[in-house]
């Protein structure tokens, strides 16, 4: 298939692209320490050009068209079908992440001195918000928010026929701008003699926020009085109370595609790459092992880190008590699930769960009774390895840098331990499912193709089976692209939520009963 090549940009799209590029170029020039004065003006100009370029491009692409699905030519365009521009973008993004995480000095970070380069360009904005000079993380946070806002507007334009998409996108834009960007900056401004709050994006929940219970943060919170304690309690409640309740009612989408920053970036700037996710059965197998291994890793790492400072006995909670509590909690979850939900696990999931449980308990036991170092490695070593491998390489360099190659949800699908926990809750204890509409499916494959999580939605839809998958983030695009109105995201009773069928609605009633029941 040759199709229409990527040359068909209209005049407005070209101008918009150039404006956006010039905006980026200003940042690029500043990286070489060219003094752009006044900084505030150049920064404003640059950010407005980047965002304006994206928004104008979106307008030029979608404004003159009828509302509806806009996937014409997706697989003909270089950028969205792993062509030259996709690889170039991938290399560019990957390099940016490597510099950001490992060589921030090239962005202009100066230890114990005035910032230079790009970071210096962001100083005025940072000072206006928090009172402090910018850091590489401030630069990243600002650009991240800008990208979500600009591409969010593009997304809304593209999917303007769907109110679900509209509201969901406004939600991620709001949470990114306020919770992730502005509130922590203002919190920093509050800090002073009495208050010593750590940088805290309130919606960034452990274990996604794997450093939330690090000693320096705990100390900072404890030393900040009631507000600090409240934040600490909120952090614990987020994962142990709020998360299970919301996931029970709405599925993990409440977080992954309505609130989360990683999800927000994937849904907005990554929307052009959702069709690149791998839908093979093999990929699904790999996904299950990798994501749950990351979850085990983060649990062990956090336990080790927390234990390392609790065992000094300077805190209200003692180290050994904490270890026992972790052991008991994990055992309870494991036993509960194995007793009540074991029939819902595939064989490899059972093997994996049992194996990991045995390993964790053995390690805890070794430490308790043989005085072997907890989890064999130094907690600091575990923490830095996790931060490097998972926190930087996986979620940043691969997760976002490879958007144009592997799709926009690689991190969310294969790596995010938060997604693993929410997915576990969604699969076993949630009212959420994607309902299949009787016998209307024509197996066209739009749903599977545009599923960013690589779920073979069609495999369920053509069997008339509801989609109940731990990885589903509830973005709703499968429902939007379905040309026959087959799929719908719903919250309903737990009974009959999972309903495998061999014969679909519309055929001989007796036959349906016979075949569907004889299988069970």
Partner 1 sequence: MEHIAIIGNGIAGVTAARHIRKQSDYKITLISAETEHFFSRTALMYVYMGHMKWQHIKPYEDWFWDKNRIELKQGYVKTVDTDNKQLLFEDQSHLKYDKLIIACGSKPNKFGWPGQDLDGVSGMYSKQDLETIEHYAPNPEKCKRGVIVGGGLIGIELAEMLRSRDIPVTMLVREKSFWNGVLPDGESQMINKHILEHHIDLRLGVNLECINADENGKAKSVIVKETGEEIECDYVGLTAGVSPNIDFLKDSGIETGKGVKVNKYLETNIEDVYAIGDCAEQQEPTGNRPPVEAVWYTGRMMGEVVAQTVCGRKTAYKPGHWFNSAKFLDIEYQTYGWVFPKRHCEEYEKHFHWRHPEDNVCVTLSYHKDTRKFLGINTFGIRMRHEVFDKWLSEERDIDDVVKNLKQANFDPEFFKTYEKDIYKSYKNQLLVKA
- Residue numbers of the site for partner 1 (CB under 8 A)? 1-4, 8, 66-69, 71-77, 161-164, 166-167, 275, 280-281, 435, 437-440, 442-446, 448-449, 458-459, 462, 476, 479-481, 483-485, 488-490, 502-509, 511, 515
Task: Give the shortest CB-93-to-partner 1 separation in angstroms.
Answer: 24
Nearer Cβ to partner 1, position 33 or 443?
443
Match 């006995």 to its residue by tokens.
Answer: 313
Task: Give the shortest CB-487-to-partner 1 separation in angstroms.
Answer: 9
Task: Give the shortest CB-161-to-partner 1 separation in angstroms.
Answer: 7
Task: Give the shortest CB-463-to-partner 1 separation in angstroms.
Answer: 10
Nearer Cβ to partner 1, position 114 or 508?
508
Task: Give the shortest CB-362-to-partner 1 separation in angstroms.
Answer: 37
Distance CA 458, CA 462 (A): 6
Pull the structure tokens for residue 343: 């029939």
- Show the beta-strand stretches assigned E in 100-174: none
Nearer Cβ to partner 1, position 65 or 312?
65
Nearer Cβ to partner 1, position 341 or 346?
346
Match 């709001």 to its residue by tokens.
Answer: 174
Task: Give the shortest CB-66-to-partner 1 separation in angstroms.
Answer: 5
Task: Give the shortest CB-18-to-partner 1 separation in angstroms.
Answer: 23
For residue 467, the 8-state DSSP code is B
C-alpha closest to that of 179 among 144, 131, 215: 144
Nearer Cβ to partner 1, position 201 or 287?
287
Contact 441, 461 (CB under 8 A): yes
Nearer Cβ to partner 1, position 72 or 114?
72
The helix or strand, by DSSP H or E, that contains position 370, with its residue range, turns out to be helix 347-370
For every residue of 292-335, DSSP letters joined together read HHHHHHHHHHHHHHHHHHHTTT-SSS-HHHHHHHHHHHHHHHHH
For residue 180, the 8-state DSSP code is I
Q: Which long-range contacts (CB under 8 A, 24 or more apart) does 454-461 make?
A: 454/277, 454/278, 454/279, 454/283, 454/284, 454/287, 454/407, 454/409, 454/413, 455/279, 456/279, 456/281, 456/284, 457/487, 460/434, 460/436, 461/436, 461/486, 461/487
Nearer Cβ to partner 1, position 118 or 473?
473
């Amino acid at each position: 298939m040759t199709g229409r090549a990527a040359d068909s940009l209209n005049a407005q799209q070209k101008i918009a692209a150039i404006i956006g590029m010039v905006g980026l170029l200003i940042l690029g020039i500043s990286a070489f320490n060219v003094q752009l004065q006044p900084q505030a003006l150049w920064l404003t100009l640059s950010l407005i050009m980047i965002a304006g370029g994206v928004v104008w491009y979106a307008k030029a692409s979608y404004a003159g068209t009828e509302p509806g699905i806009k996937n014409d030519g997706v697989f003909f365009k270089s950028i969205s079908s792993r062509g030259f521009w996709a690889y170039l973008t991938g290399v560019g993004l990957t390099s940016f992440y490597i510099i950001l995480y490992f060589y921030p000095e090239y962005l202009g970070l100066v230890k114990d001195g005035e910032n230079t380069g790009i970071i210096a360009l962001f100083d005025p904005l940072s000072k206006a918000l928090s009172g402090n000079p910018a850091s590489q993380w401030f630069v990243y946070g600002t650009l991240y928010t800008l990208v979500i806002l600009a591409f969010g507007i593009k997304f809304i334009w593209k999917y303007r026929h769907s109110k679900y998409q509209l509201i969901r996108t406004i939600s991620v834009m709001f949470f990114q701008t306020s919770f992730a960007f502005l509130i922590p900056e203002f919190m920093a401004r509050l800090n002073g003699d009495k208050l010593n709050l750590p940088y805290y994006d309130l919606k960034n929940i452990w274990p996604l926020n794997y450093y939330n219970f690090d000693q320096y943060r705990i100390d900072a919170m404890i030393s900040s009085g009631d507000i600090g304690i409240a934040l600490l309690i909120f952090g614990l409640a987020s994962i142990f109370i709020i998360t299970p309740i919301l996931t029970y009612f709405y599925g993990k989408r409440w977080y992954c595609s309505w609130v989360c920053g990683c999800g927000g970036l994937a849904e907005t700037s990554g929307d052009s790459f959702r069709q690149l996710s791998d839908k093979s059965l093999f990929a699904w197998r790999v996904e299950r092992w990798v994501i749950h291994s990351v979850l085990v890793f983060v649990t062990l790492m956090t336990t080790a880190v927390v234990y390392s400072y609790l065992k000094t006995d300077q805190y209200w909670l003692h180290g050994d008590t904490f270890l026992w509590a972790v052991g008991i909690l994990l055992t309870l979850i494991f036993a509960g699930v194995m007793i009540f939900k074991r029939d819902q696990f595939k064989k490899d999931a059972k093997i994996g769960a049992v194996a990991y449980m045995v390993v964790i308990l053995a390690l805890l036991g070794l430490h308790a009774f043989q005085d072997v170092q907890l989890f064999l490695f130094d907690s600091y070593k575990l923490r830095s390895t996790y931060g490097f491998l998972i926190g930087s390489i996986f979620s940043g360099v691969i997760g976002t840098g490879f958007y144009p190659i592997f799709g926009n949800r690689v991190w969310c699908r294969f790596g995010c331990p938060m997604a693993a926990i929410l997915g576990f809750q969604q699969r076993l204890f949630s009212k959420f499912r994607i309902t299949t509409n009787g016998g209307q499916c024509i197996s066209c494959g739009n749903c599977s193709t545009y599923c960013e999580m690589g779920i073979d939605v069609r495999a369920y839809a053509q069997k008339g089976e509801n989609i109940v998958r731990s990885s589903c983030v509830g973005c709703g695009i499968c429902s939007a692209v379905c040309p026959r109105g087959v799929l719908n995201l719903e919250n309903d009773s737990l009974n009959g939520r999972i309903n495998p069928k061999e014969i679909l609605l519309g055929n001989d009633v007796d036959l349906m009963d016979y075949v569907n029941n004889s299988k069970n």
